[in-house]
Amino acid sequence: MIATSIKWTRHNLFGKPFDVVLSLLVIPGVLWLAYSITDWAFVSAKWGIIVQSLRVLMIGVFPADQAWRAWTASAIIGAILGAGLGCVFSFKPHHGLVLLLVPVLLLIVHGGLGNALPATGTVASTILGWALTSYVPLSRKVLPAAAFTGFIVIVAIMAPPGVGLWGGLLLSVLLTLVTSVLSLPIGILLAFGRQSRLSSLRIICTWYIEVMRSVPLILVVYWIWILMPVLAPQWGLADVARGMIGFTIFYSAYVAEYVRSGLQAVPRAQTEAARSLGMSEFDINRSIVLPQALRVVVAPLVGNVLDIFNSAPLVFIIGLTDFLRAGQMILANPQYGDRTFEVLSFLLATYFVIGSMITYAARKLEDHMATGTR
Amino acid sequence: MNLLKILTAGVFAAAAFSAAQVSASVLDTVKQRGVLNCGTDNTAPGFGYLNTTTGQMEGLDVDFCKAVAAGVLGDASKVKFITVTDKSRFDAVLTGQVDVVFAHTTIKPARESSISIDFLPINFYDGTGLMVKTDAGIKEFADLDGATICTTQGSATETVLTAAFKARGWKDSKVLTYENLEKLFSALNSGRCNAMSTDKSALAAWAGNAPKPTDYLILPDTLDKSPFGGFVAANDSKWRNALRWIEYGLFQAEESDITQANLAEKLKSEDPFVQKFLGVDGGYGKDFGLPDDFIAQAIKAVGNYGEVYDRNLGPKTKMYLDRKGTPNALWTQGGAIYSPLWN
């Protein structure tokens, strides 16, 4: 073991004179960096501020006595995501152990059982969902319906205190979720519309897609934010709802383009064969073209979800308090002005964890989808 | 942002058109709705801030929202805080999403002349100030000839400082800019700058939260005025007047020594002015379309102006902002907080 690692080191790090110089420069540098970061993170950083403001970072101004709604919603989100993961990636007990580290860590840092409970619930439901679809293949069949029901339930649970109160990380996640779910059907319709034989429909859809793809997201969001109360004052839509509409309108165009690339990837012979069997245009699209097209574009669509999640902080412009702005809110207080690195590190770490989970899922999904065609 | 402005101009034309057709005062809308939609910031400690530990909105602007809700609807809890940003606050009130905005907005002629809004009376006087290290021996702005003064990037302070240098013919003085207040403050501490310059309200907070507040001295000079006021959509004098007199009511209450604590006692007062002011006997509310006890309700909710100030900005808060000797003191104490005559 030691012999092989010495051999590996000599071969890879000290093989040539130039490598030796580089290694001597880089290795101490990296070690020093690692030491300073560790030293800062465990000795000098004052993490108390994160623990103190955790609730605002997670759910923003959502009323404290209604917090159970938020925790229930996050448990359902966990279950759906877990179940989705289980379809492509089998659950192993050690995954559960790693996930359980989160609430344990929170328990140690926080000291209070009450604060660790929501995280435990979310992790537990994620594990349950993951295990269910891993071990009971039959459950995968009902997953889309279950996920959609879960989605409706989340909105129903979260809505009563007022949609305008959604905030923090939960807002970022819900915005991503709502946008991803709503933009999929709209995007599919637009993609078909762009290929339609009715030229009026084709022109409208093409225009829509091209306009949306050539303007910045922030403009669309702000535009909708101003426009809705003028066009429909009687609806009194909350800022959050208008933000979601803006995001959906914008990202539908992107989804449409992804789906169109999938539609074009389906061999022409497939449609011709179906037509010769006498299937109607609608049936051809529904049961021949779309399933094959979606199979190709699942991975880019998951990437699109990541894109939505990372653009979510832009809603600050219409006065929403998403995760990033909640962090800035803490820093705006001169009392905590010297905790910049603590707060920003926490934001960075959280975004990194969530973002890398999504990319990881996308990669797994891609592998899974590719197995059939190989 | 320019493209945005052109696009929005069209919408406002449409909005103004539909508003002209309806032409109901916001006051009636608020009373009918039963809830006040109040636009505030949530990242400005002392003014409009979401306390990250309690999850509650707090600040001077927030208290003004509560006072309006109490005055108009008789219940301070019937207010919905809608966050507005520096970019969105004018559009928010113009499109009717909020009824009034209290968001530490500087009153300027261009804002009232080119944006279709009307300002309410000034509720806080801020200004550009300077802070130095006490041991530097600097006592006033005139001592800073040849010094390096630091401020934040892209703020108006930079222009103000350059103009002040020019006016005094200082050739060697320099302005250095930093990205944010935190970096600015550490530059002052490390000696990179002889003085840091920004809004006086921010200076006091940074000094007060330092390990040793006496290490810092805020110079008496004010280089540039920055009066804050709330605002409403233009051409709705019914709504604007109601809000103005609620605000003046808070000023007058301080002058007449009516506080949250002694309100119950004052309600029994024999003084005919106090009786009318608080709406015990007659009152001022009816003609504004408000309940006669609107001032009593506002005081019950947030206290008089002095109490609102002390709760959010005063020396006992983390903002450490003393009113004494500033325009924020009552006019009877040499300040500029002044209510017109109630009679």
Which CATH number characterizes residue B287's domain?
A: 3.40.190.10
Within-domain flag for B257: yes
Boundary of a domain, candidates B225, B242, B263: B225
pLDDT digits (tens, 9 = 90+) for B127-170: 999 999 999 889 889 999 889 999 988 777 888 899 999 999 99
Question: Domain range spanning residue A348?
Answer: 164-374
The CATH number that applies at residue A330 is 1.10.3720.10
Tell whether A257 and A344 lie within a shared domain: yes
Boundary of a domain, candidates A143, A161, A179: A161
Tell whether B109 and B159 lie within a shared domain: no
Look-up of token digits 């946008």: A179
Phi, psi values for residue B67, rounded to 5°: -60, -40
Within-domain flag for A315: yes
pLDDT surpassing 60 at residue B20: no
Tell whether A122 and A255 lie within a shared domain: no
Out of B7, B15, B97, closest to residue A223 by CB: B7
- Gap between the Cα atoms of B260 and A368, Å rounded: 68
| A329/chain B closest Cα distance in angstroms | 5
Contacts of A318 in chain B (CB under 8 A): 85, 88
Tell whether B105 and B238 lie within a shared domain: yes
Tell whether A214 and A267 lie within a shared domain: yes
Helix or strand run (H / E) with residue B109: helix B109-114
Tell whether B232 and B322 lie within a shared domain: yes
Average pLDDT of B39-56? 84
Distant-in-sequence, close-in-space partners of B14: CB < 8 Å, separation ≥ 6: A230
Within-domain flag for A45: no
- Gap between the Cα atoms of A321 and A214, Å rounded: 27
| pTM, rounded to two decimals | 0.80
Within-domain flag for A199: yes
- Alpha carbon distances (Å) from B210 to A56, A231, B214: 25, 50, 9
Q: What is the pLDDT of residue A374?
A: 46
Contacts of A56 in chain B (CB under 8 A): 50, 52-53, 55
Distant-in-sequence, close-in-space partners of A69: CB < 8 Å, separation ≥ 6: A62, A157, A158, A160, A161
Max mean pLDDT range (A42-51, B176-185, B187-196)? B187-196
Which contacts of A207-210 are long-range, i.e. CB under 8 A and separated by 24 or more positions? A208/A253, A209/A253, A209/A256, A209/A257
| Banded model confidence at residue B13, pLDDT cuts 50, 70, 90 | low
How many percent of chain B have pLDDT more than 70? 93
Tell whether B287 and B196 lie within a shared domain: no
Tell whether B241 and B257 lie within a shared domain: yes
The residue of A321, A333, A340, A344 whose CB has the most chain B CBs within 10 angstroms, and thus the best one to mutate to test that interface, is A333
Among residues A374, A369, A320, A326, which one has the least CA distance to residue A350?
A326
Contact A60 B50 (CB under 8 A): yes
Q: Do the beta carbons of residue B300 and residue B46 sit within 8 Å? A: no
Contact B11 A338 (CB under 8 A): no
- Gap between the Cα atoms of A83 and A140, Å rounded: 8
Out of A64, A219, A330, closest to residue B52 by CB: A330
Contact A52 B91 (CB under 8 A): no
| Banded model confidence at residue B11, pLDDT cuts 50, 70, 90 | low
Tell whether B131 and B216 lie within a shared domain: yes
Within-domain flag for A319: yes
Boundary of a domain, candidates B209, B225, B241: B225
Among residues A303, A309, A305, A341, which one has the least CA distance to residue A322?
A309
Among residues A46, A168, A50, A43, which one has the least CA distance to residue A115?
A50
Boundary of a domain, candidates B205, B225, B245: B225
Give bridge partners of residue B228 from the DSSP assignment.
Answer: B106, B124
Contact B85 A53 (CB under 8 A): no
Chain B residues bordering chain A (beta-carbon distance below 8 Å): 3-4, 7-8, 11, 14-15, 18, 39, 42-45, 49-50, 52-53, 55, 57, 80-85, 87-88, 91-92, 95-97, 181-182, 185, 202, 205-206, 208-209, 318-319
* H-state helical runs in A40-141: 48-52, 54-59, 67-88, 93-110, 113-135, 138-141
Among residues B249, B302, B305, B299, which one has the least CA distance to residue B123?
B305
Q: What is the pLDDT of residue A204?
A: 95
Question: Domain range spanning residue B56?
Answer: 23-126+227-333
pLDDT digits (tens, 9 = 90+) for B253-294: 999 999 999 999 999 999 999 999 999 988 899 889 999 999
Token representation of residue A103: 């609430």
Within-domain flag for A23: no
Out of B55, B81, B82, closest to residue A56 by CB: B55
Q: What is the pLDDT of residue B21?
A: 46
Q: What is the pLDDT of residue A373?
A: 55
Contacts of B218 in chain A (CB under 8 A): none
| Banded model confidence at residue B8, pLDDT cuts 50, 70, 90 | low
Nearest CA in chain A to B201: A334
pLDDT surpassing 90 at residue B297: yes
Within-domain flag for B17: no
- Gap between the Cα atoms of A111 and A116, Å rounded: 9
Q: What is the pLDDT of residue B23?
A: 62
Tell whether A284 and A365 lie within a shared domain: yes
Within-domain flag for B9: no
Classify residue A134 by burial, with Cβ atoms within 10 Å: 0-12, 13-18, 19+.
buried
Q: What is the pLDDT of residue A137?
A: 81
Q: What is the pLDDT along chain A (374 residues), one digit of tens a residue?
A: 677 888 888 887 787 888 888 888 888 899 999 998 888 888 877 888 887 788 788 887 777 778 888 888 888 988 888 888 787 777 888 888 888 877 777 777 665 556 667 778 888 888 888 888 888 888 888 888 888 898 889 888 888 877 777 888 888 988 998 899 899 999 999 999 998 889 999 999 999 999 999 999 999 999 999 888 888 777 778 888 899 999 999 999 999 999 999 999 899 899 899 989 988 888 988 888 888 888 888 888 888 999 999 999 998 888 888 898 888 888 877 777 678 888 888 899 999 988 888 888 778 777 777 665 54
Distant-in-sequence, close-in-space partners of B254: CB < 8 Å, separation ≥ 6: B304, B305, B306, B307, B330, B337
Torsion, CA B16, CA B20, CA B22, CA B25, rounded to 10: 90
Tell whether B221 and B310 lie within a shared domain: no
Among residues B123, B309, B97, B117, which one has the least CA distance to residue B232?
B117
Nearest CA in chain B to A56: B52
Q: What is the pLDDT of residue B1?
A: 46
Distant-in-sequence, close-in-space partners of B15: CB < 8 Å, separation ≥ 6: A230, B94, B95, B96
Out of B55, B97, B208, closest to residue A61 by CB: B55
pLDDT digits (tens, 9 = 90+) for B202-236: 888 888 888 888 899 999 888 888 899 999 999 99
Tell whether A208 and A329 lie within a shared domain: yes
Q: What's the mean pLDDT when you consider all of chain B?
A: 88
Give bridge partners of residue B133 from the DSSP assignment.
Answer: B216
- Alpha carbon distances (Å) from B202 to A52, B44, B170: 23, 10, 26
Look-up of token digits 């109607």: A280
Q: What is the pLDDT of residue A333?
A: 78
| B21/chain A closest Cα distance in angstroms | 13
Tell whether B234 and B312 lie within a shared domain: yes
pLDDT surpassing 70 at residue B18: no
Out of B53, B80, B82, closest to residue A319 by CB: B82
Tell whether A174 and A109 lie within a shared domain: no
Tell whether A327 and A339 lie within a shared domain: yes
Q: What is the pLDDT of residue A247?
A: 95
- Gap between the Cα atoms of A176 and B9, Å rounded: 31
Token representation of residue A194: 């762009």
Tell whether B37 and B74 lie within a shared domain: yes
Tell whether A209 and A137 lie within a shared domain: no
Q: What is the pLDDT of residue A83?
A: 85
Boundary of a domain, candidates A115, A146, A161: A161
Within-domain flag for A43: no
Tell whether A341 and A252 lie within a shared domain: yes
Within-domain flag for A237: yes
Tell whether A261 and A250 lie within a shared domain: yes
- Gap between the Cα atoms of A282 and A289, Å rounded: 10
Tell whether B27 and B119 lie within a shared domain: yes
Q: How many domains are there within chain B? A: 2
- Alpha carbon distances (Å) from B231 to B72, B104, B308: 16, 10, 19
Phi, psi values for residue B283, rounded to 5°: 145, 175
ipTM of the complex: 0.72
Tell whether B235 and B211 lie within a shared domain: no
Contact A319 B84 (CB under 8 A): yes
Distant-in-sequence, close-in-space partners of A254: CB < 8 Å, separation ≥ 6: A183, A187, A212, A213, A304, A307
Tell whether A348 and A258 lie within a shared domain: yes
Measured at the alpha carbon of residue B85, what is the angle toward residues A61 and B339, in degrees to the nearest 5? 95
Q: How many domains are there within chain A? A: 2
Give bridge partners of residue B37 from the DSSP assignment.
Answer: B80
Tell whether A85 and A173 lie within a shared domain: no
How many percent of chain B have pLDDT more than 90? 52
Within-domain flag for A5: no
Q: What is the pLDDT of residue A88?
A: 75
